[in-house]
Amino acid sequence: MAGAILEGGQSIIVRTGDSSDGRPRTLRVKSLASGSSGNAYLFWFGSEALLVDAGIPLRQVQAELRRLPGQPRLVGVCLTHEHADHVSAVGAVCRQFNLPVITSRGTLDELHRGGLRVEGVAQPLGTTIAVGSFLVTSFGLPHDARQPVGYIVGVGPWRVALAVDLGESCEDLISALRQADLIILDSNHDLRRLLSGPYSGPLKARIAAPKGHLSNEQAARILLQVADGRPRTVWLAHLSAVNNSPRLARRTVARIFEAAGASPVRVDVALRDRPSAVWSPLELGTQGRFDFGRDFT
């Protein structure tokens, strides 16, 4: 279970991973679901896997783990915030794998107040903890939850930045994205569609607020700020089924990047209701042009 919290230090050792099993040693990432009906993102490296958010049924997490080469074991569960589409299965997942949940102090308190009965590790914002082979750094995000966070997940030289559910940019976000080989970023709605769509006035206002969600255009402008020529992949995430589409999201980013003459970046969409393709850093060598490829299947 949870290991030591090092007093005054930057590290919390949750569990030590295997070191030699002969399996491929590249970090890989897969989005299992991304949107208001459920969020879960799986990272794996050799024989270990890390889950960020648990908003899909336990059996689906188990099935995905079984499907992965070498069937890695889950060594950690991290949560971005307490909204139901991110935590609905966290109790079941943590109990099944005998793991604590790792999240911010505020999110943990909120979950315990809501009746969650699993052990928790409260990770202070801005610190890095080792979870098996994964180095997990959290940073704060503006969203209408108690203490929402994004993560940088690192293994060896590779970094993945995940920021879903946020309403506007912030300094910590930009510095996190700048480090990343893969960026998973909220791109929830097309603002015009949201405002002219069927949602109630208060709900529209909440989604468009600084503590709501990013529009496609906001996501594109954030990505522009970190476009420095480094080969990287972007997954637009948490798309609304009503106020957005994968094609519209990608095209908005493409339009804004092309207008700015920005450096190449590969942009894909993590779909709401089905797993993505697998990302690994090996993909990065194939880039060199604008590629607003495919919807993941």
Kindly tell me which of 18 and 172 has the beta carbon lying closer to Zn ion: 172
**Beta-bridge partner residues of 102:** 78, 121
Establish if 186 lies at the interface with Zn ion (CB under 5 A): no
Token pair listed for 295? 């919807």
Site string for Zn ion, 153-182 (x = CB under 5 A): ------------x-----------------
Detail the DSSP E strand segments found in the chain. Answer: 13-15, 28-33, 40-45, 48-52, 73-78, 101-103, 120-122, 128-131, 134-140, 149-155, 158-163, 182-186, 233-237, 266-269
* Nearest-approach distance from CB 87 to Zn ion, in angstroms: 10
- Which of 295, 191, 184 has the alpha carbon at shortest distance from 250? 295
Establish if 83 lies at the interface with Zn ion (CB under 5 A): yes
Token pair listed for 50? 């890390």
* Nearest-approach distance from CB 148 to Zn ion, in angstroms: 7
Segment near Zn ion (CB under 5 A), from 76-84, 111-119, 152-160, 240-248? 76-84
289 Cβ contact partners less than 8 Å away, ≥ 6 residues apart? 264
Kindly tell me which of 12 and 249 has the beta carbon lying closer to Zn ion: 249
Segment near Zn ion (CB under 5 A), from 53-61, 79-87, 214-222, 224-232? 79-87
Kindly tell me which of 99 and 166 has the beta carbon lying closer to Zn ion: 166
Establish if 110 lies at the interface with Zn ion (CB under 5 A): no
The site that binds Zn ion (CB under 5 A) totals a number of residues, namely 2
Kindly tell me which of 33 and 265 has the beta carbon lying closer to Zn ion: 33
**How many other CB atoms are found less than 10 A from the CB of residue 119?**
12
Give the footprint of Zn ion on this chain (CB under 5 A): 83, 165
